[in-house]
Chains A and B, each alone.
Chain A
Amino acid sequence: MAGLDEIRMQVMWNRLISVVEEQALTLLRTAFSTSVREAGDLSAGVFSPDGLMLAQAVTGTPGHVNTMAEAVLHFLAEIPREEMYEGDCYVTNDPWKGTGHLHDITMVAPSFKDGQLVAFFACTAHVVDIGGRGFGADGKSVYEEGILIPIMKFAERGVVNRDLINILRNNVRESNQVVGDFYSLAACNEVGHRRLIDMMVETEMADLDALGTFIFDRSRAATLERIAALPVGAWDNDMTVDGYDTPIKLVAKLTVRDDEVNADFTGTDGASKWGINCPLIYSKAYACYAIKCVVAPDIPNNSASLAPFTVTSPENILNAKRPAPVSLRHVMGHMVPDLVLGALAKALPGQIIAEGAAALWNIHISVRPQDGVQGRRAEVLMFNSGGTGARPALDGLAATAFPSGVHTMPIEATEQTGPIIVWRKELRPDSGGAGRLRGGLGQVIEIAAAQGHEFDFSAMFDRVNHPARGRDGGQQGAAGVVELDDGTKLRPKGWQHIPAGRKLVLKAPGGGGFGPASERSEDAIQADRAAGYVTGKPT
């Protein structure tokens, strides 16, 4: 039967996606880093022997959509084939060869079957610490931001590189957890490898060549069909965000051709002297993610489905070059979807989500006992989200991460990790931009140190001075606020001190509205009032 090969290939493709899903789940379950296990800041995938991505786990975050895919090519370029052995595992955290900052560790492992190289497995995760100044914007160059591991072997023939572990252990805080995460990454590639070999033995496949061709042909054709349905032309957009100490203008030009969608960042402001710069690889990940959400949300990620989405830029804050500081590259990276979608909205009027809070309102807290008081020291990381923009037919989502794919962690778990008290974490009324469809609400968070303690925190907040804009006549969302409970304003970025007895108050921004507020339905207005989403009081 002619159709049987077709069906067999389809079934194997399904199976391959299940293999990488298992790989990602292993990482999720063994990881130490909160940003991996609670927030899903990871990615996992399988590659052909020449480094093309065949399948990527759905579990994971858009920031790694194709950063990992390009990283694998760097590994192949630097480690000669004849020096690859069964049981090997390679590692790097080079921001320009990995995924954009030192905290992300990428590991790649070859998969051999009967002595023949059949695939590579790769995975990436964010570790709790990488030395240097810690997770924050204050480094003046990447050299201050921690230890850089060039592409090298984490394990050769199954034997772990003890020298690397030793150097690492002596250069990072929380060394046990960081080393633990290195092991988790290696374990997850190993699980992927084992499942792939099981699959190949069971289905009597000698290599993945035919399956790869099938996956790439189908994915390419489907993606090009979607692109062909878009209007051809070029549209641009700009957006100003807070930056560190001066506002930063981001510019994008979106060009749709018959077989390509290109985002170009010419005109964007230059690199910052603070650690909010973004290597192009990470800007590209978020640009592709945003476009794919609109154009081809249902097409799985692989080399062929991602290839038609290209990103170019001269050197600037979205294409920062070595040795620019890049620790908080996520703040700019998370703005890229709003920037690119703004241009796409001109190509597809009336169809694109309004701007939202975009960058996560993450906070890193260093808490310690007051002088002369007995107590505990701890590092506490919290993930928080503002509101998303209103959609053409739906209100924005309140306190929900977009574009990031992370989760928040329970307050009860956060308070177990260190002597802090979260006094409030609830929706922020009146923060959604008015419109025919209302922007999502932000949230209010109040944090104090426990009795006898004080804390410093690393601020990494945006949209404090530049709120999310509405679309098609919708109004802007409420701007973010960073202050003490006595009303003293604090800076939106950088390390700052909260004295004992005071509370830090964060008001995460709301999303922009969609369409004129005058067109909002009476039912929706009543429902907003009843729930207290809109109070009618001056804000």
Chain B
Amino acid sequence: MSTTQQIRVGADIGGTFTDVALDLHGTLYSTKVLTNYTAPEQAILDGMQVVTEQAGIGFADIDILIHGTTLATNALIERRGAKTALVTTEGFRDVIEMRTENRFEQYDLNLVLPTPLIPRKHRFAVAGRLDASGAELLPLDEARLQALAGQIAAEGFEAVAIGFIHSYQNAVHEERAREILTAKLPGVPISISAEVSPQMREFERFNTVCANAYVRPQMQDYLTRLQSRLKEQDAQCPVFMIHSGGGLISVETAIEFPVRLVESGPAGGAIFAADVAARFGLDKVVSYDMGGTTAKICLIEDFTPQTARTFEVARTTRFCKGSGMPISIPVIEMIEIGAGGGSIAWVDAMGRIQTGPESAASEPGPACYQRGGDRPAITDADVVLGKIDPDNFAGGAIALSKPAAEQAIAKDVGDKLSLTPLEAAYGICEVVDENMANAARVHAVEHGKNVSENVMIAFGGAAPLHAARLCEKLGVDQCLVPQGAGVGSAIGFLKAPFGYESLASRLVGLSDFDVDGVNAMLADLRETAEKFVRAGTDAPIKRDITAFMRYRGQGWEIPVSLPDRVLTQADIALIRDGFTANYARFFGRSIDGLDGLEIEIVTWSIKASDEVAKQTPISVQTAGTTICAPHMRDVFDPAKGALVPSGIVSRANLKPGDMVPGPAIIVEDETSTIVTSPFDAVIQSEGSILLTRKGV
């Protein structure tokens, strides 16, 4: 059965809300319910109740449930995982504590480094050693492991992580250690680093296997409970989990490798944007998701979000790089900055306005909520600038106070800089928009791209309020605000392919390229990746094969696509050309005139996924029938630097082909889309709003 004929349900458990979306042969139903921390599955069932009633179907009619959750991420952030033992190579007990031996803030003498996930007394060293090629230097101390098994049982550990040096080259010691421990520890889940994250770099790999073990008992309980509750309720459908790389895996795989669920919610958002991109046939897109605390930006090329092989979770200090813990698994790559509707504005020692990363969150909330917050948040600035109508917020459900917003802005920003509240509010929005623009620009440059060539897709509660100004700053000419943006991740889940990326670290120089060895390794990777995909679908599988390459001596690799076939000697020249072309694209010029400078491949990746049926793209409509706004309100226009009368239009009253000239605001219950003076808005045939730059 093709995915369009299936009845699919997507469920995204977030920190505040659990979003549920149902796709009934192309018609979407969605709802938001509060996340239930003690029984997360209950919120899903409640949400399913709502959407199935809306759709007029029963639980038994559902063909597939696709689920993503922040539960694993939260367990890591809040340190609410299992009592876990780490078994590691003798001499390397402190790898996860010593980290990179670096201070992530150069000028902070009172720096506090993140505490290791597993405390030192729970880390046990065992003799046995492999060398960098995977050959054994010292046999595994099996007697010590036998004794250790007894100790781990006696001390009541609930999970075990095994991480040995160079296991990414050869898993034999880790596998043997698991065998010995399993025999004496029935029921205790054991994770080994060679399976969880077979990548070079011991700190990242050990930390990843520890994180996997740490959340495993909890995720196993939860997912097992979810499945049995669904069965009780007559939902016999299979459950698949969205993983951080944006594909689907079976519940059984998720139970074994729960670390792969980290960041699955944001991944859903990126898939949502990728689907919008595919719908319109847009091959260069930047997605922009702004909520209450953070903004996330992701590059999407050829309808596929950018991916990475490692990322950092649970940052402890102001989203500082290095203040969290590294997780090396395939992940949809996005930059996240502390800029959301609740981010607090303040003034630094130089009299510069700063925003975030501290957030007013939902309690006490921005000052305009009048729930005890007296510090100015981005939302307060949006109210003062006229971007949000205080009497009509969330469909009138929450009355906002503009005077309270003005007062907070005056107290913490305006008075300190001799600015009026209006000027100060403008300053706050300019700074937060500039920060987001800078982050997007740097992120694009890191990937050798130019962000101004992209179309923006904006979603999340706060993004449509800031998207137009962000486009002005980035030189982006078009921005789509799709429907259903408030539950974007859950809708994104419905579009996710069955997909899995397998990775291996194996250093291969182009001058001594062992074609047979590489082909054998790639065949292994292919088998692993396809096994996971086959667990969910019989559809044809497509594969993307990538080599991560560098000049020998460099430390940063760039991706180069490899042909999907058995490689021959003749392909080496092809790979070399692919590398030099990509290098020049990333860094301006490739290095010429260096005889014998070796080019090498460090990591190999195979991404397997089922072929998603190609949609016939609809084209973006940039012209339409100008409609006359029923109301006008003064709204601050940043390009003009002044309050200007702006049309106020309800999104519900607009139909495809309508054109709303800027400056204007298109309001809906969840958010408002600001159309600044350089832009017009055109309603697309499927309901999205297109912001398009005048005269382009």
B427 A7 Cβ-Cβ under 8 A:
yes
Contact among B352, B423, B586, B597 with A13 in the assembled complex (CB-CB below 8 Å) = B352
A393 B110 Cβ-Cβ under 8 A:
yes
B431 A10 Cβ-Cβ under 8 A:
yes
B350 A218 Cβ-Cβ under 8 A:
yes
A4 B98 Cβ-Cβ under 8 A:
no
Nearest CB to that of A408 among chain B residues? B101
Contact among B101, B349, B507, B554 with A400 in the assembled complex (CB-CB below 8 Å) = B101
Q: With A and B bound together, what is the CA distance between A405 and B103 in angstroms?
A: 7
Size category of the binding interface on chain A: 35 or more
Instruction: Give every chain B residue within 8 A of A191 (Cβ-Cβ).
Output: 445, 588
Query: At the interface, yes or no: A484 with Cβ under 8 Å from chain B?
Result: no
A225 B349 Cβ-Cβ under 8 A:
yes
Query: At the interface, yes or no: A294 with Cβ under 8 Å from chain B?
Result: yes
B113 A397 Cβ-Cβ under 8 A:
yes
Contact among A30, A174, A218, A401 with B102 in the assembled complex (CB-CB below 8 Å) = A401
Query: At the interface, yes or no: B401 with Cβ under 8 Å from chain A?
Result: no
Q: With A and B bound together, what is the CA distance between A415 and B102 in angstroms?
A: 21
A218 B441 Cβ-Cβ under 8 A:
no
Contact among A1, A13, A21, A398 with B641 in the assembled complex (CB-CB below 8 Å) = A1
Query: At the interface, yes or no: A517 with Cβ under 8 Å from chain B?
Result: no
Query: At the interface, yes or no: B348 with Cβ under 8 Å from chain A?
Result: yes
Given A10-B431, A384-B101, A412-B200, check contact A32 B642 (CB 8 Å).
Answer: no
Contact among B90, B119, B553, B588 with A190 in the assembled complex (CB-CB below 8 Å) = B588
Query: At the interface, yes or no: B100 with Cβ under 8 Å from chain A?
Result: yes
Instruction: Give every chain B residue within 8 A of A2 (Cβ-Cβ).
Output: 423
Nearest CB to that of A448 among chain B residues? B137
B594 A416 Cβ-Cβ under 8 A:
no
Q: Could you tell me the distance in whole angstroms from the C-beta of B229 to the nearest C-beta in chain A?
A: 40
Q: Binary interface profile of B, 109-130, with partner A (CB < 8 Å = 1, else 0)? A: 1111100000111000000010
Nearest CB to that of B429 among chain A residues? A7
B109 A391 Cβ-Cβ under 8 A:
yes
Q: Binary interface profile of B, 346-369, with partner A (CB < 8 Å = 1, else 0)? A: 001111110000000000000000
Instruction: Give every chain A residue within 8 A of B591 (Cβ-Cβ).
Output: 179-180, 183
Given A3-B423, A10-B353, A218-B350, check contact A180 B597 (CB 8 Å).
Answer: yes
Q: With A and B bound together, what is the CA distance between A443 and B119 in angstroms?
A: 17
For window 611-635 of chain B, which residues contact chain A by CB distance below 8 Å?
none
Q: With A and B bound together, what is the CA distance between A202 and B437 in angstroms?
A: 13
Nearest CB to that of B590 among chain A residues? A183
B423 A1 Cβ-Cβ under 8 A:
yes
Size category of the binding interface on chain B: 35 or more
Q: With A and B bound together, what is the CA distance between A28 and B120 in angstroms?
A: 33
Nearest CB to that of A423 among chain B residues? B91
Q: With A and B bound together, what is the CA distance between A385 and B102 in angstroms?
A: 9
Query: At the interface, yes or no: B589 with Cβ under 8 Å from chain A?
Result: yes
A15 B98 Cβ-Cβ under 8 A:
no
Q: Binary interface profile of A, 158-201, with partner B (CB < 8 Å = 1, else 0)? A: 00000001000000001011011001100100110001000000
Query: At the interface, yes or no: B92 with Cβ under 8 Å from chain A?
Result: yes
A415 B203 Cβ-Cβ under 8 A:
no
Q: Could you tell me the distance in whole angstroms from the C-beta of A290 to the nearest C-beta in chain B?
A: 9
Query: At the interface, yes or no: B516 with Cβ under 8 Å from chain A?
Result: no
Given A218-B352, A408-B100, A415-B132, check contact A37 B92 (CB 8 Å).
Answer: no
Q: With A and B bound together, what is the CA distance between A296 and B349 in angstroms?
A: 9
Query: At the interface, yes or no: A26 with Cβ under 8 Å from chain B?
Result: yes
Nearest CB to that of B428 among chain A residues? A7
Given A1-B642, A37-B554, A408-B100, check contact A299 B349 (CB 8 Å).
Answer: yes
Q: Could you tell me the distance in whole angstroms from the C-beta of A33 to the nearest C-beta in chain B?
A: 8
Query: At the interface, yes or no: A70 with Cβ under 8 Å from chain B?
Result: no
Instruction: Give every chain B residue within 8 A of A293 (Cβ-Cβ).
Output: 107-109
Query: At the interface, yes or no: B520 with Cβ under 8 Å from chain A?
Result: no
Q: Binary interface profile of B, 427-454, with partner A (CB < 8 Å = 1, else 0)? A: 1001100110010011001100000000
Instruction: Give every chain B residue within 8 A of A296 (Cβ-Cβ).
Output: 349
B424 A15 Cβ-Cβ under 8 A:
no
B91 A183 Cβ-Cβ under 8 A:
no
For window 1-46 of chain A, which residues contact chain B by CB distance below 8 Å?
1-4, 6-7, 10-11, 13-15, 18, 21-22, 25-26, 28-34, 37-38, 40
Query: At the interface, yes or no: A421 with Cβ under 8 Å from chain B?
Result: yes
A177 B91 Cβ-Cβ under 8 A:
no
B108 A412 Cβ-Cβ under 8 A:
no
B103 A176 Cβ-Cβ under 8 A:
no
Q: With A and B bound together, what is the CA distance between A400 and B92 in angstroms?
A: 16
Query: At the interface, yes or no: B224 with Cβ under 8 Å from chain A?
Result: no
Q: With A and B bound together, what is the CA distance between A262 and B696 in angstroms?
A: 58
Given A3-B420, A412-B132, A412-B201, check contact A58 B431 (CB 8 Å).
Answer: no
Instruction: Give every chain B residue within 8 A of A72 (Cβ-Cβ).
Output: none
A411 B587 Cβ-Cβ under 8 A:
no
Q: With A and B bound together, what is the CA distance between A6 and B555 in angstroms?
A: 42
Given A29-B446, A183-B589, A400-B102, check contact A11 B594 (CB 8 Å).
Answer: no
Query: At the interface, yes or no: A373 with Cβ under 8 Å from chain B?
Result: no
Query: At the interface, yes or no: B141 with Cβ under 8 Å from chain A?
Result: no
Query: At the interface, yes or no: B596 with Cβ under 8 Å from chain A?
Result: yes
B350 A219 Cβ-Cβ under 8 A:
yes
Q: Could you tell me the distance in whole angstroms from the C-beta of B162 to the nearest C-beta in chain A?
A: 16
Given A29-B556, A37-B554, A424-B91, check contact A176 B597 (CB 8 Å).
Answer: yes
Query: At the interface, yes or no: B475 with Cβ under 8 Å from chain A?
Result: yes
Instruction: Give every chain B residue within 8 A of A184 (Cβ-Cβ).
Output: 587
Query: At the interface, yes or no: A446 with Cβ under 8 Å from chain B?
Result: yes
Q: With A and B bound together, what is the CA distance between A85 and B441 in angstroms?
A: 28
Query: At the interface, yes or no: B576 with Cβ under 8 Å from chain A?
Result: no
Instruction: Give every chain B residue within 8 A of A287 (Cβ-Cβ).
Output: none
B131 A421 Cβ-Cβ under 8 A:
yes
Nearest CB to that of A191 among chain B residues? B588
Instruction: Give every chain B residue within 8 A of A62 (Cβ-Cβ).
Output: 106
Query: At the interface, yes or no: A298 with Cβ under 8 Å from chain B?
Result: yes
Q: Binary interface profile of A, 315-357, with partner B (CB < 8 Å = 1, else 0)? A: 0000000000000000000000000000000000000010000
Pick from B121, B132, B426, B430 the residue with the most CB of A within 10 Å. Answer: B132
Q: Could you tell me the distance in whole angstroms from the C-beta of A517 to the nearest C-beta in chain B?
A: 21
For window 380-424 of chain A, which residues contact chain B by CB distance below 8 Å?
383-385, 391, 393-394, 397-402, 405-408, 410-413, 415-416, 421-424
Q: Could you tell me the distance in whole angstroms from the C-beta of B89 to the nearest C-beta in chain A?
A: 10
Query: At the interface, yes or no: A427 with Cβ under 8 Å from chain B?
Result: yes
Instruction: Give every chain A residue within 8 A of B593 (Cβ-Cβ).
Output: 165
Nearest CB to that of B643 among chain A residues? A1
Query: At the interface, yes or no: A247 with Cβ under 8 Å from chain B?
Result: no
Query: At the interface, yes or no: A245 with Cβ under 8 Å from chain B?
Result: no
Given A180-B551, A532-B121, check contact A397 B103 (CB 8 Å).
Answer: yes
Query: At the interface, yes or no: B153 with Cβ under 8 Å from chain A?
Result: no
| A-B contact sample (17 more), CB < 8 A, given A7-B426, A405-B102 | A3-B418, A14-B438, A15-B438, A18-B438, A180-B594, A183-B591, A296-B349, A394-B112, A400-B101, A407-B101, A407-B102, A408-B100, A408-B102, A412-B202, A421-B137, A450-B131, A532-B121
- 5 closest Cβ contacts across the A-B interface? A424-B91, A3-B423, A37-B555, A297-B107, A18-B438
Could you list 7 examples of A-B contacts with CB < 8 Å? A14-B434, A30-B556, A37-B555, A176-B596, A218-B351, A391-B109, A421-B137
Which of A's residues lie within 8 Å of B, judged by CB?
Answer: 1-4, 6-7, 10-11, 13-15, 18, 21-22, 25-26, 28-34, 37-38, 40, 58, 62, 128, 165, 174, 176-177, 179-180, 183-184, 187, 190-191, 195, 202, 218-219, 221-222, 225-226, 292-294, 296-300, 353, 383-385, 391, 393-394, 397-402, 405-408, 410-413, 415-416, 421-427, 443, 446, 450, 530-533
